[in-house]
């Protein structure tokens, strides 16, 4: 284990003021932050090192202890933190961020950003890890004590039919986390939309050291429907009517997504593509079944494909009326 020169990491002198240390940390942290250098492992390692240095030098008490240690660090390592008169005998390992502005990230925050690998070095844990960690945490593969960590949230995609989104449904999912498979019954509320997220508490990644498990988030995708098109909470469909009904008026049946048929009144001279609104027969709002969208029915006028001799005679008579001509002599 090598001695960590935190002053060199931040590029400041040992006589640097608190302000100079903070300024150096901010400059380097912005330069090497993982969000600025996505996928750059070197930048990640440098950012961890910078954060660790500021964790010590940015805290007056830790900095004083670090300065007292100096060249005696080998004596500390060999004697062990419990030895009488040991330089670190009275040290405590509280992880506190520096106040105000650009603060040092906590260990938990570092784990959230960089995963399960330890965010601090062996040197840091040896001299600043704290005496009580072994009693409250659990051991890592290096033998150091580590605090319990809450499990991460997990996200899965789930495709639903529009009917299931309309009525709500229970889906049985087979999940695999941490090498273990399990089956979970998930209730999907009525009214969920495409791209919405459904949260299932405690069904994410298992926590460590007895900590709480993360949550499972289901990202909903709605499958295309052959008859209905969803737009927000409104539904759109088509109804086909014969030419005579479009001209003379009448009624036609409209099937709703809920399965209940409705009678739609068609006024005389209804044009092809004309849209009618059926209020309250759209999608329900999530958690508010009494608040629903509307159903819009667009009319498609169906022209006849074949004509009987009698029908043809009537259409010819109609054509003569439109043009003002008289029937020709037989």
Provide the residue range defining the domain that includes 76: 6-146
- Asked if 65 contacts 94 with a C-beta cutoff of 8 angstroms, the reply is no
Q: Are residues 31 and 46 in the same domain?
A: yes
Distance CA 174, CA 32 (A): 40
CB 105: neighbour CB atoms within 10 A?
Answer: 21
Structure-model confidence comparison of residues 76 and 211, the more confident one: 211
Supply the mean pLDDT for the chain.
Answer: 78
pLDDT, greater one: 165 or 210: 165
Residues 183 and 51 in one domain: no
Rounded percentage of the chain residues whose pLDDT exceeds 90? 37
User: Average pLDDT in the 237-249 region?
Assistant: 95
CATH number at residue 73: 1.10.287.110
Please give the average per-residue pLDDT across 151-168, as a whole number. Answer: 88
User: Which of 121, 146, 171 finishes a domain?
Assistant: 146
Please indicate, yes or no, if residue 77 is contained in any of the structural domains: yes
Q: Does the global pTM surpass 0.95? A: no
Are 48 and 98 found together in one domain?
yes
Write down the pLDDT at residue 67: 84
pLDDT of the residue at 254: 95
Residue 245 lies in a domain: yes
β-partners of residue 187 are 170
Q: Are residues 160 and 108 in the same domain?
A: no
Please tell me the total count of domains within the chain.
3
In CATH, what number is assigned to the domain containing residue 193?
2.60.260.20
15 lies in the same domain as 43: yes
pLDDT for 29-43, tens place per residue? 888 887 778 778 888
Domain co-membership, 310 together with 242: yes
* Residue 103, both tokens: 């603060």
DSSP string, 253-280: EEE-TTS-EEEEEE-TTPPTT-EEEETT
Q: What one-character-per-residue DSSP string does 45-103 give?
A: HHHHHHHHHHHHHTSHHHHHHHHHHGGGHHHHHHH-TTSTT-TTTT------PPSSSSP
Place of tokens 């950012």: 47
Single residue among 85, 117, 146 that ends a domain in this structure: 146
126 and 14 within one domain: yes
242 occurs within a structural domain = yes
The stretch 144-151 carries a mean pLDDT of 60
Q: Residues 49-55: what's their mean pLDDT? A: 88
Query: CB-based contacts of 167: which residues, under 8 Å, 6+ apart?
Result: 190, 258
For residue 134, is it within any domain?
Answer: yes
Query: Can you give the pLDDT at residue 154?
Result: 80
Q: What is the pLDDT of residue 100?
A: 39
Rounded Cα distance between 147 and 111, Å, is 11
What is the predicted pLDDT for the residue at 45?
Answer: 85
C-alpha distances (whole Å) from 257 to each of 76, 168, 221, 230, 292 are: 74, 13, 18, 11, 12
Average pLDDT over residues 127-138: 44
Instruction: Evaluate whether residue 1 is within a structural domain.
Output: no
């Amino acid at each position: 284990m090598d001695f960590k020169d935190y002053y060199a990491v931040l590029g400041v002198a040992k006589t640097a003021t608190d302000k100079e240390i903070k300024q150096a940390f901010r400059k380097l942290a912005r330069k090497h932050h993982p969000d600025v250098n996505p996928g750059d492992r070197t930048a990640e390692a440098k950012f961890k090192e910078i954060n660790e240095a500021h964790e010590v030098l940015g805290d007056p008490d830790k900095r004083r202890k670090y300065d007292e240690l100096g060249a005696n660090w080998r004596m500390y390592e060999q004697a062990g933190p419990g030895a009488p008169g040991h330089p670190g005998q009275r040290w405590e390992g509280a992880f506190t961020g520096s106040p105000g502005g650009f603060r040092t990230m906590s260990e938990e925050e570092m784990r959230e950003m960089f995963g399960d690998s330890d965010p601090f070095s062996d040197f840091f844990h040896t001299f600043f890890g704290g005496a009580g960690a072994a009693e409250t945490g659990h051991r890592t593969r290096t033998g150091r004590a580590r605090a319990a960590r809450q499990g991460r949230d997990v996200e899965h995609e789930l495709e639903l039919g529009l009917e299931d989104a309309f009525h709500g449904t229970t889906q049985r999912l087979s999940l695999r986390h941490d090498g273990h498979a399990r089956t979970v019954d998930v209730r999907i509320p009525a009214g969920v939309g495409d791209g919405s997220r459904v949260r299932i508490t405690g069904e994410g990644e298992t926590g460590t050291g007895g900590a709480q498990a993360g949550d499972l988030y289901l990202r909903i995708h709605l499958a295309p429907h052959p008859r209905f098109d969803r737009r927000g909470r409104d539904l759109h469909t088509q109804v086909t009517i014969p030419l005579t009904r479009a001209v003379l008026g009448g009624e036609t049946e409209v099937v709703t997504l809920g399965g209940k048929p409705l009678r739609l009144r068609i006024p005389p001279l209804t044009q092809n593509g004309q849209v009618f609104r059926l209020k309250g027969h759209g999608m329900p709002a999530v958690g508010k079944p009494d608040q629903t969208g509307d159903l819009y029915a667009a009319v498609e006028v169906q022209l006849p494909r074949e004509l009987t001799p009698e029908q043809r005679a009537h259409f010819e008579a109609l054509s003569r009326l439109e043009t003002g001509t008289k029937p020709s002599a037989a």
